[in-house]
Amino acid sequence: MKNTNYSEKIHTWGRAWNLSMMVLLILFPIAIAIIFGAAPDLQGLLLGLLYTAPMYWAVGFIEVFTYIPMLGAGGSYLSFVTGNISNLKLPCALNALEQADVKANSDEGEVVSTIAIAVSSIVTTAIIILGVLLITPLTPILEAPVLAPAFAQILPALFGGLGVVFVSRNWKIAIAPVSLMLVLFIFIPALNAGTVGIMVPVSVIFTLIISRIMYKRGML
């Protein structure tokens, strides 16, 4: 049974922080424009938004329904504020839930997911600070040709490790989305790492539809 008081506090503070961050993000370019006298051309700005904003609105709308069941309410609010959901926050939360053997929609899962995402955010911030401080002395080492193959495999290794765990549980369900993504990324060159935010929700919806069909036909 879920703790109603806890859920109410999560939603209250989650809305407050998300709205606050939205205001701060909007105020930053406005402040830059005022301080440096570099206000954008209004017509060009509106025209650019007309072409790009609807895509981000659609992705943002879909991501709400995609991530919340996996991250829980608290984890989702925190993830939407700190960003990097698919690359960092989601793998950390799923691994923590897996290790704790709890579900995201339980009180325990809410706490575990939120703590995992919070720790991920703190660690990421600390690493960025260290990177800024050490970027000059470490640049020759990081740019060494011998390390290039290792850096290129960091994300594949991360998601591969998580994928093995979840695919092995439901390998029948995994066949359809994995096949779809392989076909799309192999035969459509325009799809790359920058389109992950769009393709994750697409894959989730496709998986839900295929899983429903398989369940109705007694294949699951």
Q: How far apart are CA 24 and CA 27, in angstroms?
A: 5
Domain boundaries, the chain: 4-143
Q: Say what the pTM is.
A: 0.64
pLDDT digits (tens, 9 = 90+) for 78-122: 888 888 887 788 888 888 888 888 887 788 888 899 899 999 999
pLDDT digits (tens, 9 = 90+) for 13-72: 888 988 998 899 889 888 988 898 888 888 888 888 887 777 777 777 777 877 888 888
Task: Give residue 3's pLDDT.
Answer: 61
Cβ–Cβ under 8 Å, residues 43 and 86: no
